[in-house]
Amino acid sequence: MTSGAALLSRMATLGVDYIFANSGTDFPPVIEGLSEAKVKNIPLPHTVTVPFESAAVAMAHGYTLATGRAQAVMVHTNVGLANAAMGAINAACDNIPMFLMSGRTPTLESGRLGARTVPIGWGQEMLDQSSLIREACKWDYELRFPEQIFDVTDRAYGIAASTPKGPVYVSLPREVLSETIPAAGSTRRPQMTAATVEASVTQISRVAELLAEAEHPVIFAQHGAGSSDAFAALSRLTNDWGIPLCQYWAVELALPTTHPMAAGPNPAPLLEKADVVLCIDVLAPWSPAQIEPLEEAVVIQLGPRPLQERSGVRNFRCDLGVTTEIAPAILALEEAMAKLLPEHQARVAGRAKKIAKVNAAEQSRRFADAAGERDAAALTKRWVSLTLSDHLAERDAAIFSELGCQFPFLRLTRHQSWFDGPHAGGLGWGFPAAMGFALARPEKTVVATMGDGSYMFSNPVACHQVAEALGLSMIVLVLNNAEWGAVRQSVLDIYPEGHASKTNAVPLTDLSPSPDFTKVAEASRAWARRVSAADAFEEALTEALAHMDAKKGLALIEVTIGKG
C-alpha cells in the first residue's frame, strides 16, 4: 500500500478515532491513501477537515477530555505547525496525550515522486521545523524511510499515552509518504504499550497517615479527580474526614461546588492554619505573593508531574512527592484512610461539622450575591454563571469556559461538568475544545462560554463551519463586554492606585466597536440571539436548550455584560 494509506490505517489499529486535519500541498500521498483505503475497505479513523490549525488541536484536546484516548492532528508543513503550536502548548500544560503530525517540504527538487513542484516547496524550507513545537512535546521525530511508519507511529502513540501524558510530534516528508510498502504490518498488534505510573502502597500509606494525624488538613485540586469513580471517592473521603478542598483556578471539577467540604476560592484562610497540605495535580495551588503555607506544615505534591518540571520557576514546597496518575491514587487513598477512620472518628466528625457550617454559609453568601445582581444596571458574569448552572441542574452537562462563566458562581455537582482554559492561556481553546467533547459525547448537554475576545481568537467562522458540517448540537455563550477584561483586571491588580485606575481608561484593552457575533453564527445557519437583559437571557437560554435537544445544531447567545 502507499505510505499515506499505511500511516492512516496504523492510526486505526492504535485506537485513534479521529484525525483532525488541515491539508496542504504536502497532503497528496495522504489524500491518495484515504482514497486507496476506501477502495480496499481498509479501516481508518474518521477524518475531520478543520480550516484553522489551532481549532483542530483544541478539538482533539476536547475529544480526549471526553474519552481519555489520544487523537491525531495533521497540519501543513511549518506554516500549519506554527498555527498548531499554541494548541500544543495548551495540551502540554494539561497533560493531554496527542499525536501531532505535519508535512515537511520535500527535500529533493526533482528525480523522485513527491519532490518539489511549486514555489512554496522552497519557501517553507526550515533547518529545524520541529523546533516550532519541540518544547511543548514529549518527543519528536522526522520520518526518514517509509518502512519506519509502523514502528514510528507505535512509538509515538505509546509515548504520548505514558505518564506524564502529553503531545508528541512527527514530521512527514512528502517523498517518504509517496513511497509504497508491504501492507502486512498495518494490522499487527501495537508494539508499544503506554507506561503508566501509579503510587506505591508505601507512598499512599504515608499520605493517609499524614492526613489522618493532621489537625487542620487541606486539599488543593485543579485538574479534577481523573475518573467518575475517583470523583465520588474524593467526595466521600473529604466528607468522612472533614477535610476542606480548595479548587483555586480549577480547570476541571474535583468536588461538587455545593459539597460540604468545598471551600471558597480563596486559599488564604485555609493555609493560615493548615498543618498538612495535599496538592492533587496542581500547577499553582495558591499565589505565593499573597500567602504561603506555615513553615511547619507538611506539603504533599501528588500527580503525574509532582514537581511540574516543565516550569522553569516553580518553588511550591514539596515535602513528599508522589508521581502517579491521580484517579488510582485517590481510590487507593480512600481505601487506606478508611482503615484508619475508626480510631479518629470522634475527632474528625466534630471538625467536619464545623467546616461544613462555615462552607455552607460561604456558598450561600456567594450564590446569593450572584443572584442579587439580576437587577443590576448591566448583566454580570456572576449572575449569568449562576443562572446557567440553575438551568442545567437536572442535565448531564459539560461547561467549557474561557474567560466566560465563572467557576465560583456555578452550582456544579457532576464529574466532567466543568472545563476551564488550560493555565498556558492559549486563547481560542474553549469553543473548539467543546466541539471535540460534543463530538465524543453527543448525549451530553455541552455549553461553551467565553468572552468576546476569546470568541474572536477561536476563529469562529472556521468553528461554526465545522460544527455545521459535523451536525454538532451544542450551545455557545459569548459574554461580550467589548474589552480584554482579564488584561484590565491584571493592570488594576498591579497598579490599584495608578493612572489607568483613576481615569477608568485602560489602554490596549478596548474591543469596541463590537461586531454582531450573531451574524457570524447565522452565516453557518446556526440559531442565534443577542440579549442584554435578564428576562431576555433566561428566555433565550430556554429556547437554545430546546433547539439543542431537538438536535437542530448549534445555538449561540451573545450576552451584553458590563465592563470591569
Average confidence score pLDDT of the chain:
94
Whether 515 is in a domain gets the answer: yes
| Whether residue 513 sits in one domain with residue 388 | yes
| Whether residue 163 sits in one domain with residue 23 | yes
| Whether residue 388 sits in one domain with residue 357 | no
What are the DSSP E strand ranges found in 151-213?
167-173
Q: What is the pTM of this model?
A: 0.95
pLDDT exceeds cutoff 70 at 131: yes
Whether 196 is in a domain gets the answer: no
d(CA 212, CA 204): 12
- DSSP, residue by residue, 294-315: -TT-EEEEEESSTT-TT-SS--
Q: What is the mean pLDDT of residues 358-382?
A: 96
Q: How many CB atoms lie within 10 A of CB 453?
A: 23
Q: Which of 187, 211, 246 is the last residue of a domain?
A: 187
| Whether residue 247 sits in one domain with residue 178 | no
d(CA 137, CA 160): 9
Based on the number of CB atoms within 10 Å of its own CB, is 324 exposed (0-12), middle (13-18) or buried (19 or more)?
buried
Q: Which of 33-37, 260-264, 355-359 has the lowest mean pLDDT?
A: 33-37
Residue scoring higher pLDDT (489 or 375)? 375
Residue labelled with grid coordinates 498548531 = 84
> What would the 3-class secondary structure string for 89-118 be?
HHHHHCCCCEEEEEEECCCCCCCCCCCCCC
d(CA 528, CA 246): 37
Set of cell numbers at residue 224? 479534577
Under 8 Å between Cβ of 470 and 463: no
**For residue 75, what are the β-bridge partners?**
102
| Whether residue 387 sits in one domain with residue 365 | no
User: Please, what is the Cα angle at 119 between 115 and 120, to 5 degrees?
Assistant: 85
User: Which residues have a Cβ under 8 Å from the Cβ of 52 and sit 6 or more positions away?
Assistant: 22, 83, 459, 462, 463
Considering only the C-alpha atoms of the chain, give the largest distance between any 2 of them, rounded to a whole number of Å: 82
pLDDT exceeds cutoff 90 at 158: yes
Closest CA to 139 of 162, 156, 164: 156
Q: Which of 369, 390, 406 is the last residue of a domain?
A: 369
pLDDT exceeds cutoff 70 at 484: no
Summarised one tens digit per residue, pLDDT across range 76-121 is 999 999 999 999 999 999 999 999 999 998 888 899 988 888 898 8
Q: What is the pLDDT of residue 564?
A: 61
Whether 25 is in a domain gets the answer: yes
Whether 194 is in a domain gets the answer: no
Kindly compute the dihedral angle of the four CA atoms of residues 425, 430, 435, 441, in this order, to the nearest 10 degrees: 90
Q: What is the pLDDT of residue 526?
A: 98
Q: How many CB atoms lie within 10 A of CB 209?
A: 14
Residue 103 phi/psi, 5° resolution? -65, 165
Whether 192 is in a domain gets the answer: no
pLDDT band at 185 (very low <50, low <70, confident <90, very high): confident
d(CA 184, CA 42): 12
Whether 95 is in a domain gets the answer: yes
Q: Which of 187, 222, 250 is the last residue of a domain?
A: 187
- SS3 of residue 408 by DSSP: helix
Whether 424 is in a domain gets the answer: yes
Long-range CB contact pairs, 189-195, < 8 A, 24+:
189/13, 190/13, 190/14, 190/15, 190/154, 190/157, 190/158, 191/150, 191/151, 191/154, 192/154, 192/155, 192/157, 192/158, 192/159, 193/158, 194/158, 194/160, 194/161, 194/162, 194/163, 195/158, 195/162, 195/163
Summarised one tens digit per residue, pLDDT across range 513-563 is 889 999 999 999 999 999 999 999 999 999 999 999 999 999 999 999 987
User: Which residues have a Cβ under 8 Å from the Cβ of 205 and sit 6 or more positions away?
Assistant: 336
Query: Domain range holding 221?
Result: 201-369
| Whether residue 409 sits in one domain with residue 359 | no
- SS3 of residue 475 by DSSP: strand
| Whether residue 180 sits in one domain with residue 231 | no
The total number of structural domains in the chain stands at 3
Q: What is the mean pLDDT of residues 369-379?
A: 95
Q: What is the pLDDT of residue 506?
A: 76
pLDDT exceeds cutoff 80 at 257: yes
Please provide the size of the chain in residues: 564
| Whether residue 382 sits in one domain with residue 349 | no
pLDDT exceeds cutoff 90 at 507: no
CATH number at residue 119: 3.40.50.970
Set of cell numbers at residue 345? 472518628
Set of cell numbers at residue 339? 482503615
d(CA 242, CA 358): 12
Summarised one tens digit per residue, pLDDT across range 399-447 is 999 999 999 999 999 999 999 999 999 999 999 999 999 999 999 999 9
Whether 218 is in a domain gets the answer: yes
| Whether residue 355 sits in one domain with residue 264 | yes
Under 8 Å between Cβ of 263 and 244: yes
| Whether residue 547 sits in one domain with residue 461 | yes
CATH number at residue 308: 3.40.50.1220
d(CA 44, CA 18): 9
Residue scoring higher pLDDT (40 or 336)? 336
| Whether residue 176 sits in one domain with residue 107 | yes
d(CA 550, CA 266): 40
d(CA 381, CA 115): 54
| Whether residue 362 sits in one domain with residue 453 | no
